[in-house]
Structure 1
């Protein structure tokens, strides 16, 4: 699609127009004009951790008041996979549909890029998938599930300079903290290593992690739900070694916007810091050089916010427009017909969405004739 986004402002409130063509931002203005009514344009948000197939209508789960480490939670949830009616119903859905639901969850919250942490599925690479899902250089689930040798082999097989992702130090006890030392002894704390959660890291371990060129993906909503606490992000953020992830809905909140609002409450960081962190900062940390900024030649991943609305105060129903790789996929109702989108309601507000994304999602009201069976 070739179009011009006009009557908009940038993150600093300066007037701007953008031209989109062949999936990228272009310097020249050409194509259909889309009047955004003074909306504020930002790069698309980057979600550094999700399990895309574990979203949809799944609720947050835990089976005791709190946990000391992730292994305890895994031990509780594993038998439920074959007995819990909600989990069984979710697993009976086609695998591709489960992934699509995770992509839709992210799209509706302004996320245009997601790091998926689990085996890859072919649907993630299909042209109609609602978000971009770059493949990491390598990944392992965790020491608890995969074991030391498999984790080390996974890290060693990861090409130099590419991200390698693993859940680690997810908990508040000694066992969680010692996972960092085990990974360090295995040679897995290195440039490109992304430790998801890192809740149990001591100050000394955080220093060693940063010195090694590794980083942490912080999922505070999931941490608070399962363990009742989360890490202090200040030092890791100051070192440029922290990204934000939503985690899946079985432990995290609804979406990345909810997570960002939680971070604002926990940290009182400025809006400027928060916006840069989940766009340009995340792209830099994850090695995604083709996104994170609104510049000619980069991917046309962007969102539009109503004038004057800070990102961390926005909900998914507030978003005026979401464009992924040059494709307008979600918008306010007044833009829908122009963009070829289908009218829907999101959390009670009139919106519009790409027709192929008319699937079941809590809060998304479809036309009666299009509700999935």
Structure 2
């Protein structure tokens, strides 16, 4: 089991066959002709105030795999159990407390019933309801595999992304369905993450791009990298930036897709790709991405947190440790890959391998390989605006 958990985020190099080009080439993305930047007197919101949490504070384990805000409550999945943060106090569940499996790799909360669904890395799927855990695995249900990476809910149906395909479970009828390469357009069956919205389910497939399920038509659509190159992005913005996809996030009509080779944005017509050499991404190696709106996306990378604050102006805030010996993280503000300045923060997590994140109102939670942190969103605002606090601190475009 320990070996399974350790291999959870290890990148395995696999050679894939040719992929069919599924999309016509679209017009290349260009930034707005005029935009605000720190040098214009406008800046993005920067999380400078942070709280950190570890085992000593009540977490069952410091290795954080999943975070899910549920109103004023926060659910956290770790390598050693499930935790709940509510009213300033922690409560945790381990196997001795009835949790079917100790490694919780994904969490979804039903807005209809309040049930908490858990993806268990090696242990199947669990429902936590009324203080009781119900366990679903390969032997007692239609779950295709017990190594479950992610879980999502679309109305009354639970979708599980597993290492051997996808399973869906209708909680009203009790019906299970399984999707593999035999009945879905899968080039690979290793499904890494799931997300749902507007009547559709999106699945990140490691090596197979993004799969999109339409509830009305009951049909699959595949989004893949049309240039078929595994080491470079041959044609910019021609489609998904890479087929090794690690997470998907759908919000306000826009799909954000994280890969191990950069970030993609798709508005239904046009694709836009981002890599660390042309954007504020701390690294191309993205574990998880979460859209905050159609124009803003937060990206958990192996070298810190990279936030695309405003799509039109290509404004980024990148939180990272500038040196391994630094005690605190620094926030760097840029447009594209041009940095305008930096702001010190009070984030003290020792590990900047960011694995997961979620929003709770104006606050921001991030989980890493060693600890959990909350960014305090007092006076938070989206996009760009005049912020005299940071301007007084010297955040401005450096002189040429």
For the criterion TM > 0.5, the same-fold answer is no
Q: As a proportion of its length, which structure holds more strand?
A: 2
Higher relative contact order (CA 8 A, sep 6+): 1
**TM-score in terms of structure 2 length:** 0.28
**TM-score in terms of structure 1 length:** 0.30
